[in-house]
Amino acid sequence: MKLTLRVWLLIFVLIFSFLAIAPWKVLDSGVLIKTVNKTSAEYEAGLRPGMTIHSINGNSIKNIVSYTQTISEIFQTAAQQKITLTTNKGEFIFLADNSPDITISNVPASRLKTGLDLSGGARALVKAENISLDKGQVGDLVSITTERLNAFGLSDIVLKPVSDLSGNNFMLIEIAGSTASELKDLLESQGKFEAKIGNDTVFIGGDKDITYVGSTGQDAGIYSCDEYQSGYTCQFRFVIYLSEKAAQRQADLTANLSLNISSGGRYLEKPLDLYVDDSLLDTLQIGADLKGKATTQIQISGSGIGTTQKEAFEDATAGMKKLQTILKTGSLPYKLEIIKLDTISPTLGKEFTKNLVKLALVVFVIVSIVLFIRYRKIKITSLVILTMFSEAFITLAVATLLNWNIDIAGIAGIIAGMGTGVNDQIMIVDESLSKDANRLPIKERIKSALFMIFGAFFTIIAAMIPLFWAGAGMLRGFALTTIIGVSVGILVTRPAFADMVERLGEN
């Protein structure tokens, strides 16, 4: 059978989809670094999230079990050890008193990301208590809460603004590996930002004490990058303006401070400590020229490090943006109310995945039998089944490219797309096999079937778009994967299927 342009397009899209999902990292044994404590020797040595550890002190690492066993054996002989980690980004050496200050996971089986329904964790739907927020305010809330949760060293966090059909705006938080009680404690503890000199508060976050935070032009930027030990360090600085009351508090608190001799007298003896909910977030040096002055303009400075100049620059930029966000937004002006709080067991997710695979096999067998009984042609039956699974595979690839977490609702959307695909393919096959002598040629009949399929496509899209915004975002996965599935079908798989059926009908 000669392949048409539309069939070649389907083949190309399938190859591209495989490349999008392909688990290339599985070819490498090791463990994946998820987080690295920024104050640790490991971070200073150059370790970063996303790297894959292949060996430790010459011992091959294949998974979490071998990693744990190797680390345990290393620290049996002495408290402090020289650790040499070989990763996909090179070799890193540092001294450690105990296990490296990192979190790890097994290398993922593919690039697909699964939601909490499948991977386990905690989810909360949050709104402001007794206050209705607009989209801009919810966006600010997401930024503030992200900084708060990052300050606690959490990883695998998803925060996003969502809304329902009534126009109510919420914040959805998902944290992998957490429990509902832990997430509740974290949310209830949020809301207080303080800058202190010693034990005295200079100013708090938000517009009460901070009137302006520089973010562009001459008010903010990276001003130097230099070699530092085995890597690079980049310095950043930005301007903030305090209210007159906050400026006077700073003048009173710095008036009697002496200079830090070890710094060459450029800074005062006490730094400016930034606290988030009484936890130290960062420490900033106070310039000597600010001693006893009630100035409203001060300069915040800091640095970023990296194994390369580019990495140090990116780290400094990220650190500067983090501080700017905290200083701009500061403490929450309202109390958070948890509308819905759920815990999903990772074991339940694994069992669901196993059952889903079993169900897919059962459905595959049933659909194959029904199609064969109806048409008595193995080629047509095979084409329908292969096209159906092609749509599902391409849908998963598109979701991967969009960085979308596949959850139970998303899987339901994929199944719905596959269902509409089978219906459309049966319509095409019925038109092609019609024996009515008065009917149009097979090519025209298939065109007519495709025209009706296009009409149904627009109906489905019109129904899914409102659903994408409904239910405070809980149904977005279903709506999105359904839209992707039917779009893939109408643009790629069903035209290719029609061409293949047409060739079979002509033979």
383-396 pLDDT, tens digit per residue, is 888 888 898 899 98
- CATH 1.20.1640.10, the chain: domain bounds: 5-22+346-506
The residue written with tokens 């193995």 in the block is 378
Cα separation, 388 vs 385, whole angstroms: 5
What DSSP string describes 425-473? Answer: HHHHHHHHH---TTSPPHHHHHHHHHHHHHHHHHHHHHHHHHHHTSGGG
Token reading at 250: 């700073």
| Backbone region of residue 372 per phi and psi (left: phi > 0; alpha: psi in -120 to 50; beta: other values) | alpha
The CA distances from residue 276 to 321, 327, 331, in Å, are 16, 11, 9
| H-run or E-run covering 34 | strand 31-36
- CATH 3.30.70.3400, the chain: domain bounds: 121-191+335-343
Cα separation, 270 vs 283, whole angstroms: 10
Residues 6+ apart with CB under 8 A from 110: 21, 22, 23, 26
Closest CA to 315 of 385, 234, 247: 234
Instruction: Report helix, strand and coil shares of the chain as percent, to nearest 5.
Output: 50, 25, 25
Q: Give the SS3 label for residue 331.
A: coil
Task: Decide if 287 contacts 266 (C-beta within 8 A).
Answer: yes
Cα separation, 161 vs 171, whole angstroms: 5
Token reading at 25: 């990292």
Closest CA to 349 of 408, 392, 396: 408
Token reading at 483: 């839209």
At 211 the pLDDT is: 86
At 394 the pLDDT is: 92
- CATH 2.30.42.10, the chain: domain bounds: 24-106
Cα separation, 103 vs 180, whole angstroms: 21
Cα separation, 484 vs 40, whole angstroms: 43
Cα separation, 56 vs 37, whole angstroms: 19
Q: Which residues pair with residue 31 across a beta bridge?
A: 53, 106
Cα separation, 436 vs 157, whole angstroms: 60
Token reading at 27: 């070819």
Cα separation, 495 vs 425, whole angstroms: 10
Cα separation, 336 vs 188, whole angstroms: 7
At 12 the pLDDT is: 93
At 472 the pLDDT is: 47
At 332 the pLDDT is: 61
Q: How many CB atoms lie within 10 A of CB 79?
A: 8
Helical residues (DSSP H) of 338-441, grouped into ranges: 346-375, 378-401, 408-433
CA atoms within 13 A on the CB side of 256: 4
| H-run or E-run covering 338 | strand 336-344
The CA distances from residue 65 to 7, 93, 156, 184, in Å, are 46, 22, 21, 31
Task: Decide if 16 contacts 397 (C-beta within 8 A).
Answer: yes
Q: Which CATH code, of 2.60.40.10, 3.30.300.130, 3.40.605.10, 2.30.42.10, is assigned to 24-106?
A: 2.30.42.10
At 437 the pLDDT is: 45
The letter for the amino acid at 58 is G
Residues 6+ apart with CB under 8 A from 28: 52, 54, 88, 107
Is 46 buried (19+), middle (13-18) or exposed (0-12) by CB count in 10 A? buried
Cα separation, 429 vs 423, whole angstroms: 10
At 368 the pLDDT is: 82
Q: Give the SS3 label for residue 492.
A: helix
The CATH topology of domain 121-191+335-343 is Alpha-Beta Plaits (3.30.70)
Q: Give the SS3 label for residue 382.
A: helix
* Residue numbers in the chain where pLDDT is lower than 70: 1, 23-28, 37-40, 77-79, 117, 147-156, 165, 176-182, 185-186, 188-192, 263-265, 276-277, 281, 325-326, 328-334, 345-350, 434-440, 442, 469-474, 505-507
Closest CA to 73 of 62, 87, 58: 58
Closest CA to 171 of 430, 441, 447, 472: 472
CATH architecture of the domain formed by 5-22+346-506 = Up-down Bundle (1.20)
Closest CA to 447 of 498, 481, 379: 498
Task: Decide if 99 contacts 71 (C-beta within 8 A).
Answer: yes
* Residue 493 DSSP one-character state: I
Cα separation, 421 vs 433, whole angstroms: 18
Q: Buried b / exposed e across 331-342, counting CB within 10 Å, b at 16+?
A: bbeeebebeebe
